[in-house]
Amino acid sequence: MSTSTPRGVMRWLPRTMASRLYALLAGGLLLAHALSFGLLFYERYEAASSMLMTNLEQDVVVAVNLLDRLPANERADWLPMLQRRTFRYSLDGAAFDAEPNAKLDGATSREMAGMIESALGPRWSTQARQISRDPERFQVKVRLHDGSAVVVDVQPSVMPLAKWLPYVLVLQLIVLLLCAWAAVRLATRPLARLAQAAEKVRPDGDGERLPDGGPTEVAQAVGAFNAMQDRIARYMKERLQILASISHDLQTPITRMKLRAESMDEVPERAKMLDDLDQMQHLVREGIAYARSAHGNNEAAVRVDLNAFIDSLVLDYLDTGRPVSLQGRIGTPVVTRPHALRRVVANLIDNALKYAGSADVELESRPDALVIRVGDRGPGIPESELARVMEPFYRLEASRNRDTGGTGLGLAIAQQLAASIGATLTLRNREGGGLAAEVRLPRA
């Protein structure tokens, strides 16, 4: 036996949890409201119908007996006082006899006519006919003892709805929908805050900490989230301390080995050994820099004129003969940590110079962020590798040659420093070839 999942139904459901809860809660309340009012109106209709039958039965008996005892010349004066909303009396028996009698074909008409005949009893001669079917209306002629006739004209209808009732119903529906919206908002707001805080989690534990309080389930989730942030920060700190300690401790033996290699005779192995030691020392320094980059938030944030800041950095490269250009301006200052930002941009420029020979720096002001873009016209990066190149020690070069592939830490350091100052670093391939790295800083 095959089973099928209700994917068609799922497609019609709202995307967010708040919308689904609101639709479920509001729909259930509206359905319950509709059922309760349907039952109320049905009970009201039954009660009104029963009251109509009872009043008609009693009033007709009283009216016929009263008219029968009154003198013929006084009966017409009493007719307006005997009239009711759903039936009235007339003494025009000739008009009743002049028209052809139509058979009673309405269920209500037959029931009410039979009830009148039964209430009057065998002492009175009755005759009934249908006047109309929509709206339902019938007449019953009763022969009085003096030979004259009284005609009861009946148009059955229950009591109409009060004019204010629809407004009350609409008001109740509005109250129900508002209560459902408030309940859903109260239930989903902690989830939204938790999701926002999760997006701001940082490895150093400097992310947003959620305040304690609220229902038991929310308080437990908040406590677990804050404890998770502390554990992540502790694990990252331990890992980076290990990396920094190993890198730092390796510098001493590497320095001793270089001194010993330099004191050796001029042989081919001496140059190769010094080159290997230089590469080892460079890798150790990059490891220390990567470990320290996680703590870029220890630097105090200050207001920086981004135009002057980037222009100064570009001029430093131009002074050393490096082909670096600058375009665009940003009209607003930014609050950031200047040393960390300088290291991020410098790493991106160095990467562009290394693989393309030149770097194009561009400043752009957007409504939601300030963008520093570093582009080049080098070989670019395959789309499938754009995310991985920012992982520590990951290099596109298959060979382990440090001169071509580097240490694999430059972009990782830049990304970690960018995260520590609240910025985001993204890579994309440029049209026409090359790579573009964008650093997006939040506005002050």
Break the chain into its structural domains and give their ranges. 13-199, 216-284, 297-442
The count of residues in the chain is 444
- 0.75 exceeded by the pTM? no
- The model's pLDDT over 351-391, given as tens digits with 9 standing for 90+, comes to 889 888 899 999 998 888 889 999 998 888 888 888 778 77
β 302-304/136-143 pair status: unpaired
Question: What is the predicted pLDDT for the residue at 290?
Answer: 64
β 149-154/87-90 pair status: antiparallel
* Euclidean distance between CA atoms 376 and 159, whole angstroms: 84
Confidence grade of residue 203 (pLDDT, cut at 50, 70, 90): low
Write out the two tokens for 421. 């100052």
pLDDT beyond 60 at 400:
no
Candidate CATH numbers 2.40.50.140, 3.30.565.10, 3.40.50.12280, 2.40.30.10; the one for domain 297-442? 3.30.565.10
Confidence grade of residue 315 (pLDDT, cut at 50, 70, 90): very high
pLDDT beyond 50 at 404:
no
Mean pLDDT score, 216-244: 78
pLDDT beyond 70 at 316:
yes
Question: What is the predicted pLDDT for the residue at 349?
Answer: 92
Best CA proximity match to 108, nearest among 48, 188, 24: 48
Question: What is the predicted pLDDT for the residue at 295?
Answer: 55
pLDDT beyond 90 at 283:
no
Question: What is the predicted pLDDT for the residue at 122?
Answer: 83
Best CA proximity match to 211, nearest among 202, 224, 222, 221: 222
pLDDT beyond 70 at 206:
no
Question: What is the predicted pLDDT for the residue at 159?
Answer: 63
Q: Do the Cβ atoms of 252 and 293 come closer than 8 Å?
A: no
Cβ neighbours, 10 Å, residue 399: 9
Which percentage of the chain shows pLDDT scores above 70?
85
Question: What is the predicted pLDDT for the residue at 204?
Answer: 61
Decide which of 218 and 344 is more confident.
Answer: 344
User: What is the phi/psi pair of residue 63, to 5°?
Assistant: -65, -45
201: amino acid identity, one letter:
V
Cβ-proximal residues to 335 (8 Å cutoff; 6+ apart), any chain: 301, 302, 303, 304, 444
Give, in order, the Cα–Cα distances in Å from 65 to each of 72, 80, 126, 163, 444: 13, 16, 14, 38, 95
* Euclidean distance between CA atoms 253 and 258, whole angstroms: 9
Confidence grade of residue 158 (pLDDT, cut at 50, 70, 90): low
Question: What is the predicted pLDDT for the residue at 47?
Answer: 74
Confidence grade of residue 401 (pLDDT, cut at 50, 70, 90): very low
* Euclidean distance between CA atoms 426 and 440, whole angstroms: 8
- The model's pLDDT over 232-264, given as tens digits with 9 standing for 90+, comes to 778 777 777 776 777 777 777 877 887 777 777
* Euclidean distance between CA atoms 299 and 277, whole angstroms: 32
Cβ neighbours, 10 Å, residue 160: 9
Cα–Cα–Cα angle for 161, 167, 172, rounded to 5 degrees: 110
List the beta bridge partners of residue 130: 138
Average pLDDT value for the chain: 79
Write out the two tokens for 120. 């009057």
